[in-house]
A and B are shown apart, each in its own frame.
Chain A
Amino acid sequence: MSSTRMTPERESRSPLPVPSPLPNAPAASSTDAASGADASLSPIRDFLSKRGSGRLADNSFAAVMLLCACSIFAIVIFIFGILVVHSRLSLMQFGWKFFTRQAWDPVSGDFGALPFIYGTIATSLLALCMAVPLALGVAVFLTELCPRPLRAPISFLTELLAAIPSVVYGLWAVFVLVPLMRDVIGPFLYKTLGWTGFFEGPNFGVGLLTASMILAIMILPIISSLTRDIMNAVPNSQREAVLALGATRWEMIRIGVLRNSRIGIVGAVMLGLGRALGETMAVTMVIGNHPDISKSLFAPGYTLASVIANEFSEATGDLYLSALIEIGLALFLVTIVVNAIARLMVWAVTRNAPARVN
């Protein structure tokens, strides 16, 4: 400690603080304090000494918590079991091929899930492609660039978007998005990107692209508000560290903020994807409800969730009903597989670089 390289010589009046003999002085005063405190604290000591060890309470608390945790497993297994049991007719009829068959003909009793799986995954991924950049932009703006007075209103509005019921989104899409798609966006896309083959065929305004757009709007708030919270959690010291190296504001956001929150952002995107996969009402209202696998995004499609919602009440015949339940099973499996892939992605990113921010 006391390297004396630079220490100026001390003069007689000893300007440098002389270390006081610590062990003695406080010890004396602490015994005083303790004896004084003894008398006044005795009712408290008395009270505390009469309390039990709390072992029983702790153990029962742990047991209750374990029960809560187990209930999650129980619920998942129960749902899966019920879906399998009720779809056994269709499972026996079509086997695992059900998931790769394209037919959907209730009249002749020929069922397959592929068009619905395609519709679900295509609309969800497309929605992510639209929503993620927008959500990141909103989050970056809110945390890094937004003038203070604007921050609360914009945050509030994005969160309000999450509170709107999905059927209201559906109505809005039917009256606003569908005509817009039919008359403005569709023709424009056909003219500029028609050569890709993704924007061909008749465009009635309802279809995969319209459904994806409404999905994108619906998952925007959840992704942006989660991302915003994650970015807010990045300590300011990280931003200062980058700025002090001579970074511009964008470089500071890229290295100090986005890089540190990338895992959280993937998690937020996955939650958004989960919502998009299962979303039923709004999609059903604008997707066109036709079980086709088409390259063109103008073409009508169908999702797993919307076929169940649309046809469950009118499903006549045991096989039809059983096939619809197996569609539910398919949705269940798609969600699990997509989430598993997402986990793998997170794991692949985090494996080598621990992402904890001090």
Chain B
Amino acid sequence: MGVGILVEDLNAWYGTTHTLQDINLHIPANHATALIGPSGCGKSTFVRCLNRMHETNPIARATGTVKMGDVDIYSDASPVEIRRRVGMVFQRPNPFPTMSIYDNVVSGLKLNGFRNRRILDETVERSLKQAALWEEVKDDLKKKSGASLSGGQQQRMCIARALAVDPEVLLMDEPASALDPVSTSKIEDLIFQLKSQYTIVIVTHNMQQAARVAENTGFFLNGKMVEFDSTHKIFTNPRDKRTEDYITGRFG
């Protein structure tokens, strides 16, 4: 089961650029939340703050509170502990090319010293099924390298890899932007399936995608969150003029 996220006064910088300004937001558990906005508006930075990936860049820093359940991820835990609870899927599929499909999927578990073969086997099957990839790869799990799959399959394998550690939150940073429409719709179906069990935050440039998969949508512009509401409200009756301009394609 997922866990809700409460963000209070989150600020983030890259060097001297103030990329996120006073973000306040509540992301409900076991729902999909979409973040939309033009390029460079800070939505990627925002999701990277949710698993403290933002600070892996030496010139980046962030302040504020992000509560995941009861845990303030910036003061109560180390980044490593947080990232074990929060799965992340990146814009471009990033499989480990030197590992088989099997090893790719369980890499998060093996990394943390998990060695029970039976549970590893079960996990591979469960997460590949969740990622709708099982049928396509079940015969060469250990024969084929993760890099030998097609782009869409690689991305679904990366989703399986993130799901294998049974995270409470799944962050997706434009997971379908490098994929063709068929793979994209597979991944959207996937998000639709998964959101009852995980808290999903998805960054997307594709507004129809946000409308299709997410209950709530936040609109980011120039490092600020302009509006956050139910997806229905954002797309039909936004409060802010800028949101309306963006979703109707008048700028952005």
Contact = CB atoms under 8 A, between A and B. Distances in A.
B130 interface: no
B107 to A, nearest CB: 6
B111 A358 contact: no
A164 to B, nearest CB: 33
Given A15-B244, A15-B247, A243-B53, A6 B231 contact: yes
Interface in B55-71: 56, 58
Contacts of B98: 259-260, 262, 353, 355
B80 A248 contact: yes
B96 A259 contact: yes
Interface of A is mostly: loop
A356 B51 CA distance: 28
B107 A255 contact: yes
Contacts, number: 130
A243 B83 contact: yes
B165 A7 contact: no
B137 interface: no
B213 to A, nearest CB: 6
A16 B211 contact: yes
Contact of A7 (B111, B158, B185, B208): B208
A29 interface: no
B3 interface: no
B161 interface: yes
B81 A241 contact: no
B96 A255 contact: yes
B212 A245 contact: no
Contacts of B108: 245-246
Interface string A277-298: 0000000000000000000000
Contacts of B92: 237, 358
Chain B, interface size: which category? 35 or more
A11 interface: yes
Interface residues of A, number: 41
Contact of A255 (B111, B145, B162, B211): B111
A59 B85 CA distance: 60
B72 interface: no
Given A3-B188, A16-B235, A17-B248, A240 B84 contact: no
Contacts of B51: 244
Nearest to B233: A8
A357 interface: yes
B192 interface: yes
Interface of B is mostly: helix
Interface in B73-98: 80-85, 87-88, 90, 92-98
B83 A356 contact: no
A248 B85 CA distance: 14
A240 B53 CA distance: 8
Contacts of A354: 97, 145, 147-148
B145 A8 contact: no
A50 interface: no
B23 interface: no
Nearest to A350: B98
A246 B165 contact: yes
Given A15-B247, A16-B208, A244 B162 contact: yes
Contacts of B12: none
B143 to A, nearest CB: 8
A27 interface: no
B188 A241 contact: no
B97 A6 contact: no
A159 to B, nearest CB: 23
Contact of A246 (B112, B192, B211): B112
A15 B188 contact: no
Contacts of A238: 94, 96
Contacts of A148: 58
A242 interface: yes
A46 interface: no
Contact of A17 (B80, B148, B161, B249): B249
Nearest to A8: B232
B116 interface: no
A5 interface: yes
Interface in B195-228: 207-208, 211-214
Nearest to A244: B88
Given A245-B83, A246-B83, A240 B56 contact: yes
Contacts of A356: 97, 147
B94 A2 contact: no
Given A17-B249, A244-B53, 14 more contacts: A5-B212, A6-B213, A6-B231, A11-B237, A15-B238, A239-B56, A240-B94, A241-B96, A241-B161, A242-B111, A246-B83, A246-B108, A247-B83, A259-B96
21 contacts: A2-B208, A3-B212, A8-B231, A16-B248, A237-B92, A243-B56, A244-B87, A245-B107, A245-B162, A246-B81, A246-B111, A246-B112, A246-B165, A248-B80, A353-B100, A354-B97, A355-B97, A355-B98, A356-B97, A357-B97, A358-B94
Interface of A: 1-11, 14-17, 148, 235, 237-248, 251, 255-256, 259-260, 262, 353-358
